[in-house]
Amino acid sequence: MRVSIIGGGVVGCSIAFELQRLGFEASVLEKNGAVGHGSTSASCGIVRRFYSQPDMVAMANEGAHIWADWEKFVGPIEDEKIVFHRPGMLFIPPHIDDEVSRIVAGMQQMGIAASILTADQVAQRFPFLETDSFFPPRQPDDDAFFEPTGRRIEGAVFEEDAGYVVSPDLATQNLRSAAEREGARFLLRREVSAIRKVGTGPFRVVTAQGDSIESEVVVNAAGPHSSIVNRMAGVALPLEIRPLRREVHTLDNPLFSKQEESALPVVGDLDSGVYCRPESRGRNLVVGSTDPHCDQLEWVDDPDDFNESVTEPYWERQCLRLMKRFSQVRLGPKRGVSALYDVTVADWYPVVDRTDLPGYYVCIGTSGSSFKTAPVLGLMMANLIESCQNGHDPDQQPYQLTLPYTGATVDMAFLSRRRSQLQSTGTVIG
Ligand SMILES: Cc1cc2nc3c(=O)[nH]c(=O)nc-3n(C[C@H](O)[C@H](O)[C@H](O)COP(=O)(O)OP(=O)(O)OC[C@H]3O[C@@H](n4cnc5c(N)ncnc54)[C@H](O)[C@@H]3O)c2cc1C
């Protein structure tokens, strides 16, 4: 059976690889000249498992096993392969409450090496990090921004073997090569401009370059362009999905060349409103936002028309917040990237489902945190397509997928288009 996948990001390439392994004929249509050059290219590639939803913890855990076993997972390909560094991740929530304890207990039950550290243990293990609490995060022009709160953090969650994948675009290229080896076709510089279907006949996916590709199945994996592609297919989902502008900045790592760089974990700091991780073999740090309430979210109407520059206010507030936690960091030149998330507005979890248009599927709304799970999303989408095309209706009976590495079973209803709002942080933390 022929499948057209719209979008050659990490998600589309992963879906193509898994569909080929199930015996489908996958064609990926990508408007750029290479795969992985959409929002995937800006990704920080952080691989952690701390999520509000237990099924997402299971998916992220499966993802971590896949990244750790990458050579075997993608099989024989000639490309250079990705590197997965695992310095651990320190997650600093505003409070160590019942919810945090519940998530950590669930992680431990899945065999994930995660534990709650006290503020003293954080100070002992990571002496370069301040253990004052800065919650709630503020804007730098707020008079109280630099005022001490007089409180310490309540503690932190440490995930021993969390980490990050160097070069998300290389990971995507690896997936493309693996998919091609299995027989997938990649049609680059093809911008899909229309999706047509007459009666029960096949889809015709039309490109701006004049192609018309016929297939029984179409998958929307267009990242921040997902809503535009849904409109081409005439599909409206009950959940709103929108592009959101982000900036990620680069700073010098003060620990580099102090023999301490291996001690720097990934830090997810909801207490001060930023996350960071080492970059460039420890020479730099990248810093991004955890979406604190005081920051206005920058929703974008047209993903082809947004400010792609690094802006002074965003850069300043993000770097200053990091400097409160990590006081040895110094402001340097304004460096970084501006990119888009594709956000499911209600709960910041992806939508992986069939739609009301038979044969048309979506793997979208990845909400700024689906690089780590992209290989799992590919597996889910491919298996769901196989099941639905064989007559199964997941709206009646949700699809249960057993994950090959960890053996966990995920009920895919939690990622369905018809779900009610999931309990989540409503931010990139999920
Ligand atoms: C700044 C930033 C930091 C992030 N950090 C992390 C992180 O640390 N950890 C994590 O797990 N996740 C992270 N993410 C999220 C993760 O990178 C994304 O969820 C993931 O890359 C989305 O992949 P995708 O394939 O769905 O989208 P994309 O990579 O955007 O791919 C979609 C592709 O579709 C193509 N396309 C669109 N419209 C058309 C059309 N009409 N015709 C043909 N092609 C089309 C685009 O060109 C693009 O290549 C981050 C994201 C960003 C932006």
- Cα(57) to ligand 1 centroid in Å equals 21
Looking at per-residue confidence, does 280 or 46 come out higher?
46
In CATH terms, are 2-77+167-240+347-415 and 89-160+244-339 the same topology?
no
Q: Is the model's pLDDT at 210 over the cut of 70? A: yes
Q: Which range is least confidently modeled, 15-24, 255-264, 355-364?
A: 255-264
Nearest to 12 by CA among 170, 176, 168: 176
pLDDT at 153: 98
User: Judging by beta carbons within 10 Å of its beta carbon (0-12, 13-18, 19+), is residue 121 exposed, middle or buried?
Assistant: middle
Q: Is the model's pLDDT at 86 over the cut of 80? A: yes
Nearest to 354 by CA among 322, 324, 394: 394
Mean per-residue pLDDT, 282-289? 94
**Distance, CA of 368 to CA of 365 (rounded, Å):** 8
**Distance, CA of 358 to CA of 139 (rounded, Å):** 47
pLDDT at 282: 85
Residue located nearest, by CA, to atom 45 of ligand 1: 7
- Cα(101) to ligand 1 centroid in Å equals 31
Q: Which range is least confidently modeled, 119-123, 137-141, 349-353, 420-424?
A: 420-424
Question: Is 243 a pocket residue for ligand 1 (Cβ < 6 Å)?
Answer: no
Query: How high does pLDDT run on average in the chain?
Result: 96
Residue 343: both structure tokens together: 């956000």
What lies within 8 Å, CB to CB, of 420 at 6+ separation is none
pLDDT at 327: 94
- Cα(144) to ligand 1 centroid in Å equals 36
**89-160+244-339 CATH choice from 3.30.9.10, 1.20.1050.140, 3.50.50.100, 3.40.190.290:** 3.30.9.10
- Cα(267) to ligand 1 centroid in Å equals 22
User: Where residue 78 falls among pLDDT bands split at 50, 70, 90?
Assistant: very high
Q: Which range is least confidently modeled, 240-244, 253-257, 283-287, 312-316?
A: 253-257
Q: Where would I find the beta strands (DSSP E) of 167-283?
A: 185-188, 192-197, 203-207, 212-215, 217-220, 241-252, 266-269, 274-279
Q: Is the model's pLDDT at 185 over the cut of 60? A: yes
Among 4, 39, 318, residue to substitute to test ligand 1 (most atoms within 8 Å of Cβ): 39
Torsion from C-alpha of 276, 277, 280, 286, nearest 10 degrees: -10
**Distance, CA of 153 to CA of 264 (rounded, Å):** 19
Q: Is the model's pLDDT at 261 over the cut of 90? A: no
* H-run or E-run covering 339: strand 336-344
Q: Which atom of ligand 1 is nearest to the CA of 232?
A: 41
pLDDT at 260: 59
pLDDT at 263: 75
Residue 377: both structure tokens together: 């999303």
Is it true that the peptide bond before 94 is cis, omega within 30 degrees of 0?
no
pLDDT tens for residues 89-99? 999 999 999 99
Q: Which atom of ligand 1 is nearest to the CA of 247?
A: 1
User: Where residue 280 falls among pLDDT bands split at 50, 70, 90?
Assistant: confident
Residue located nearest, by CA, to atom 3 of ligand 1: 43
| 202 three-state secondary structure | coil
Among 172, 275, 370, residue to substitute to test ligand 1 (most atoms within 8 Å of Cβ): 370
pLDDT at 44: 97
Question: Is 282 a pocket residue for ligand 1 (Cβ < 6 Å)?
Answer: no
pLDDT at 388: 97
Among 305, 371, 429, residue to substitute to test ligand 1 (most atoms within 8 Å of Cβ): 371
pLDDT tens for residues 119-159? 999 999 999 999 999 999 999 999 999 999 999 999 999 99
Question: Is 268 a pocket residue for ligand 1 (Cβ < 6 Å)?
Answer: no
DSSP string of 276-287, one letter each residue = EEEEGGGTEEEE
- Cα(38) to ligand 1 centroid in Å equals 5
The gap from C-alpha 26 to its chain's centroid, in whole angstroms, comes to: 23
Q: How far is CA 193 from CA 107, 188, 189, 363, in A?
A: 43, 14, 12, 19
pLDDT at 60: 98
pLDDT at 281: 81
Question: Is 30 a pocket residue for ligand 1 (Cβ < 6 Å)?
Answer: yes
Question: Is 221 a pocket residue for ligand 1 (Cβ < 6 Å)?
Answer: yes
Residue located nearest, by CA, to atom 15 of ligand 1: 368
Question: Is 159 a pocket residue for ligand 1 (Cβ < 6 Å)?
Answer: no
Residue 291: both structure tokens together: 């979406």
Determine how β-strand 351-354 pairs with β-strand 274-279: unpaired
pLDDT tens for residues 155-179? 999 999 999 999 999 999 999 999 9
- State which fold the 2-77+167-240+347-415 domain adopts: FAD/NAD(P)-binding domain (3.50.50)
Domains in the chain: boundaries: 2-77+167-240+347-415, 89-160+244-339
Question: Is 9 a pocket residue for ligand 1 (Cβ < 6 Å)?
Answer: yes
Q: Is the model's pLDDT at 324 over the cut of 80? A: yes
| Percentage of residues of the chain with pLDDT beyond 70 | 99
Question: Is 233 a pocket residue for ligand 1 (Cβ < 6 Å)?
Answer: no
| 411 three-state secondary structure | strand
pLDDT at 231: 98
What are the beta bridge partners of residue 279? Answer: 284
Question: Is 362 a pocket residue for ligand 1 (Cβ < 6 Å)?
Answer: no
User: Judging by beta carbons within 10 Å of its beta carbon (0-12, 13-18, 19+), is residue 109 exposed, middle or buried?
Assistant: exposed
Q: Which atom of ligand 1 is nearest to the CA of 341?
A: 53
User: Judging by beta carbons within 10 Å of its beta carbon (0-12, 13-18, 19+), is residue 308 exposed, middle or buried?
Assistant: exposed
Q: Is the model's pLDDT at 328 over the cut of 80? A: yes
User: Where residue 262 falls among pLDDT bands split at 50, 70, 90?
Assistant: low
Q: Is the model's pLDDT at 259 over the cut of 70? A: no
Mean per-residue pLDDT, 271-297? 94
User: Judging by beta carbons within 10 Å of its beta carbon (0-12, 13-18, 19+), is residue 198 exposed, middle or buried?
Assistant: exposed
Question: Is 211 a pocket residue for ligand 1 (Cβ < 6 Å)?
Answer: no
| 59 three-state secondary structure | helix
Residue located nearest, by CA, to atom 41 of ligand 1: 192
